[in-house]
């Protein structure tokens, strides 16, 4: 059996980073749980979720501060609210492009989970 991930698997893994934790949880509970590539990236994306949450909280704090400073800064608010999703989108793009990124610390945790299986 060929272990090279196909385009659909790479797309599913990439979407897991962008729409974490919903897509990775669906991957782990669905038929994709049999594929090592998807399982590893789903776990890595789930471990990435707290980082995304912290980035979102920091962004909201900065947004509130900006709104209190000047209403003109309200113009950059949409861009600011998209900023926390940029790391996940970049990781997702790397996965979809055929690279197999392993995030520092998080990648090790995901691999350790795989080894325990």
Structure tokens at 45: 């994306």
In a domain, 103, yes or no: yes
Give 84's DSSP letter.
Answer: G
What is the structure's pLDDT at 62?
85
In a domain, 77, yes or no: yes
In a domain, 94, yes or no: yes
What is the structure's pLDDT at 36?
86
| 3-state SS, residue 104 | coil
In a domain, 44, yes or no: yes
pLDDT tens track of the chain, all 117 residues?
457 888 999 999 999 999 989 999 998 888 677 888 888 899 999 999 999 999 999 988 988 888 888 777 777 888 888 888 999 999 999 999 999 888 888 888 887 776 666
Whether the pTM exceeds 0.85: the reply is no
What is the structure's pLDDT at 115?
65
| 3-state SS, residue 70 | coil
Provide the domain limits for residue 45: 7-110
């Amino acid at each position: 059996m060929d272990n090279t991930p196909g385009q659909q698997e790479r797309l599913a893994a990439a979407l897991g980073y962008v729409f974490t934790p919903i897509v990775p949880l669906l991957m782990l509970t669905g038929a994709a749980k049999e594929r090592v590539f998807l399982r590893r990236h789903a776990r890595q994306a789930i471990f990435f979720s707290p980082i995304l949450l912290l980035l979102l909280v920091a962004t909201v704090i900065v947004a509130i501060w900006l709104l209190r400073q000047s209403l003109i800064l309200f113009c950059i608010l949409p861009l600011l609210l998209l900023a926390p999703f940029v790391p996940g989108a970049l990781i997702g793009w790397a996965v979809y492009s055929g690279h197999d990124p392993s995030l520092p610390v998080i990648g090790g945790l995901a691999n350790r989970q795989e080894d325990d299986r």
